[in-house]
């Protein structure tokens, strides 16, 4: 396939997307990540370049796929001054997959168009495993001509795609998806935690939930993990906090009260504050099950004064 594709942000999700594209016959020409060792390792695996400068990434590709974690990272990638993906970007296509604020996607499209490039918003509602398998669910937004140009690539990354509308709208929908998912996850953790405190059999309780109005997709994916304390990360609590924060911010802009979303945000923020942000979102159960939670750090022993080494202040 003729398009040269570069992948920017090759953590677990981005790396799996790059692998999937390579296996699907696309020419993956470059990968980039601030974690240089990680980028070089993936580049060696895929047989491509790992430039240290963003402008070099753009020069090596026709299509640049970005999978980064927050608004600040996107601002850095698409900076109007200094090293940037926008340098020499005329005619290029950017496909931006991370969950960031709608305003950031609008900004990226505007800056891309200003230099003669195109930009597509392709928000993901799937896991790391699905990225590897090419079975993501994607919500796209932006100019329809740009989305059509991106379609052959997105088709190999996903099982289903839904065009939402103008730039920023897919990010709005994704924020709502994750808002509801995070509320469901926090609610399930409380239900199972209360069941544990009451001495109920949690296997039985999960079965009853599955046959009643308490059933949910979250019960299927996270219920057993909550019970067994298996919080291997597919979608981190830190990302849950970020995404709930985006949704709460959107609600504030339209002056809508969202107390459940605010409560879920509070729980995931607590996870991050307690050093549990890299646990899967199912780890929120550590805040609700009796007898769980992070162990408090042991206080450091006071250092003894020395005649030769001054005591640190």
Pick from 214, 258, 3, 261: nearest CA to 205: 214
- Structure confidence by residue, pLDDT tens digits, 230-270: 999 888 999 999 999 999 999 999 999 999 999 999 999 99
Residue 13: pLDDT above 80? yes
Mean pLDDT of the chain: 92
Q: What is the helix (H) or strand (E) element at residue 45, kind and residue range?
A: helix 36-46
Pick from 183, 194, 283: nearest CA to 230: 283
Higher pLDDT, 152 or 128: 152
Question: What tokens does 13 get?
Answer: 């999700």
In the chain, domain spans: 4-167, 172-287
CATH of 4-167, one of 3.30.70.1050, 3.30.70.20, 3.40.190.10, 3.40.50.720: 3.40.50.720
Which pLDDT score is estimated for 126?
A: 77
- Structure confidence by residue, pLDDT tens digits, 74-127: 999 999 999 999 999 999 999 999 889 999 999 999 999 999 999 999 999 878
Could you give the C-alpha distances from 192 to 7, 214, 270, 286, in angstroms and in order? 40, 11, 19, 11
Pick from 220, 232, 210, 139: nearest CA to 177: 139
Contact between 122 and 97 under an 8 Å Cβ cutoff? The reply is yes
Which pLDDT score is estimated for 293?
A: 78
- Structure confidence by residue, pLDDT tens digits, 285-306: 999 999 997 654 344 434 333 3
Which pLDDT score is estimated for 301?
A: 37
Q: Mapping DSSP to helix (H, G, I), strand (E, B) and coil, where does residue 269 land?
A: helix
Residue 313: pLDDT above 70? no
Q: What span, in angstroms and rounded, lies between the C-alpha atoms of 289 and 281?
A: 15
Work out the burial of residue 87: count CB atoms within 10 Å of its CB; fewer than 13 is exposed, 13-18 middle, 19 or more buried: middle
Task: Summarize the confidence of residues 216-237 as an average pLDDT.
Answer: 95
Which pLDDT score is estimated for 294?
A: 64
The band of 312, judged by pLDDT with boundaries at 50, 70 and 90, is very low
Q: What span, in angstroms and rounded, lies between the C-alpha atoms of 177 and 188?
A: 17
- Structure confidence by residue, pLDDT tens digits, 168-208: 999 999 999 999 999 999 999 999 999 999 999 999 999 99
Burial 279-297 (b: 16+ CB within 10 A, else e): bbbbbbbbbbbeeeeeeee
Which pLDDT score is estimated for 127?
A: 80
Pick from 287, 17, 252: nearest CA to 279: 287
Task: Summarize the confidence of residues 42-60 as an average pLDDT.
Answer: 97
Which pLDDT score is estimated for 69?
A: 84
Q: What span, in angstroms and rounded, lies between the C-alpha atoms of 3 and 248?
A: 39
Q: Mapping DSSP to helix (H, G, I), strand (E, B) and coil, where does residue 111 land?
A: helix
The CATH number of the structural domain formed by 172-287 is: 1.10.1040.10
Q: Do domains 4-167 and 172-287 have the same CATH topology?
A: no
Which residues touch 7 (CB under 8 Å, ≥6 apart)? 14, 15, 17, 18, 21, 28, 30, 31, 32, 64, 65, 67
Task: Summarize the confidence of residues 212-218 as an average pLDDT.
Answer: 96
Task: Summarize the confidence of residues 163-169 as an average pLDDT.
Answer: 97
Q: What span, in angstroms and rounded, lies between the C-alpha atoms of 112 and 80?
A: 10
Residue 41: pLDDT above 70? yes
Which pLDDT score is estimated for 305?
A: 36
Which pLDDT score is estimated for 307?
A: 32
Q: What span, in angstroms and rounded, lies between the C-alpha atoms of 189 and 212?
A: 17
Which pLDDT score is estimated for 298?
A: 40
């Amino acid at each position: 396939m003729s398009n040269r594709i570069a992948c920017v942000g090759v953590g677990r999700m981005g790396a799996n997307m790059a692998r999937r594209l390579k296996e699907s016959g696309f020419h993956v020409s470059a990968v980039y990540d601030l974690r240089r060792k990680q980028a070089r390792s993936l580049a060696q695996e895929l047989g491509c370049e790992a430039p240290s400068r963003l402008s070099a990434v753009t020069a090596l590709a026709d299509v640049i796929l970005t999978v980064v974690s927050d608004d600040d990272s996107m601002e850095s990638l698409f900076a109007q001054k200094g090293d940037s993906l926008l340098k020499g970007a005329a005619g290029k296509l950017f496909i931006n997959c991370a969950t960031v604020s709608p305003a950031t996607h609008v900004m990226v499209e505007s800056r891309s168009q200003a230099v003669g490039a195109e930009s597509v918003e392709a928000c993901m509602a799937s896991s790391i495993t699905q990225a590897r398998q090419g079975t993501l669910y994607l919500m796209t937004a932006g100019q329809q001509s740009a989305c059509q140009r991106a379609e052959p690539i997105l088709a190999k990354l996903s099982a289903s795609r839904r065009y939402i509308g103008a730039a920023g709208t897919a990010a709005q929908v994704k924020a709502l998806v994750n808002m509801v998912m995070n509320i469901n996850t926090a609610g399930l953790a409380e239900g199972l935690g209360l069941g544990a405190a009451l001495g109920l059999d949690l296997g039985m309780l999960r079965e009853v939930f599955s046959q009643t109005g308490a059933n949910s997709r979250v019960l299927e994916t996270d219920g057993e993990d909550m019970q067994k304390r298996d919080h291997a990360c597919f979608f981190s609590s830190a990302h849950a906090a970020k995404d709930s924060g985006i949704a709460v911010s959107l609600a504030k802009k339209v002056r809508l009260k969202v107390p459940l979303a605010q409560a879920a945000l509070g729980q995931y923020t607590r996870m991050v504050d307690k050093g549990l942000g890299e646990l899967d979102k199912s780890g929120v159960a550590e805040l609700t099950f009796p007898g769980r939670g992070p162990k408090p750090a042991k206080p450091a022993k006071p250092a003894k004064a020395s005649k030769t080494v001054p005591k640190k202040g």
